Amino acid sequence: MFDLISLIKTAGYLGLFGIVFAESGLFIGFFLPGDSLLFTAGFLASQNFLDIKILIPLTFFAAILGDSFGYAFGNKIGYKLFNKKNSFLFHRDHLERAQKFYEKNGGKAIILARFMPIVRTFAPILAGVGKMKYSTFLFYNVIGGFLWAVGLTSMGYFLGNVIPNIDKYLLPIIGLIIFLSILPSAIHILKNKSDREKIARFIKSKFVK
């Protein structure tokens, strides 16, 4: 928790822009803490460490531009990811999971994916691979970027202003945000039989002798 606050204070506006941009559209950004980062940045703005008038448009445009970059990447060379070998920064399972989610939900996946770690990084790339019309993609991109970046940042700012000594409750609040953000992905994984079998094999190999 304190590391996250320190990260934001150290990174400043430029660093926040880069983190939100990377998680929104660079496949190497899937591990970044987008949800908790936005909320905490909003909280710090309520404590006058950041200016909310700068923070909200900054994170909003970073989210929009990040997704647009991901779309352009997918449109041009994203198909090569399907032939890429697993590595520390890339795993095919992440891509395939996002692909299933995208195929099931269509355009609205761009909005829904904003609130799902890993999926939100790959969804714009898959939209580009699938040759979704850019005007259609941009429509969903703007809505999703607004709900995610502006919504979470404003929530942190609002609660920081209305709840006395909210810093005492910040850790459990962020823990709840993280839990809610991974819940849809967890449900999606557990509903898939092959994913359940992989988890069972992993648990058995690690903990059952």
Residue type for position 156: G
Q: Which two tokens stand for residue 196?
A: 């359940």
Q: What percent of the chain has pLDDT over 90?
A: 22
Inform me whether the pLDDT recorded for 92 exceeds 90. Answer: no
Quickly state the pLDDT bin for 61 (edges 50, 70, 90): very high
Residue type for position 158: F
On whether the CB atoms of residues 36 and 89 are closer than 8 A, the answer is no
> Distance (Å, rounded) from C-alpha 155 to C-alpha 135?
29
Query: What is the number of structural domains in the chain?
Result: 1
On whether the CB atoms of residues 72 and 128 are closer than 8 A, the answer is yes
What's the mean per-residue pLDDT of the chain? 77
Is the pLDDT higher at 190 or at 118? 118
Inform me whether the pLDDT recorded for 39 exceeds 80. Answer: yes
- The range of the structural domain enclosing residue 36 comes to 2-207
How long a stretch of residues is the chain? 209
Query: Which of 69-78, 98-107, 116-125 tops mean pLDDT?
Result: 69-78
* Alpha-carbon dihedral angle through residues 195, 200, 206, 209, given to the nearest 10 degrees: -160
The per-residue pLDDT for 87 is 58
Inform me whether the pLDDT recorded for 13 exceeds 70. Answer: yes
The per-residue pLDDT for 69 is 92
pLDDT 10s digits, 133-175: 889 899 999 999 999 999 999 988 998 888 766 666 666 766 6
Is the pLDDT higher at 14 or at 107? 14
Buried b (16+ CB within 10 A) or exposed e, 77-86: ebeebeeeee
Inform me whether the pLDDT recorded for 114 exceeds 50. Answer: yes
Inform me whether the pLDDT recorded for 104 exceeds 90. Answer: no
- 3-state class of 133 per DSSP? coil
Answer whether 0.75 is exceeded by the pTM: no
Q: Which two tokens stand for residue 98?
A: 């996002």
Mean pLDDT of 95-101: 68
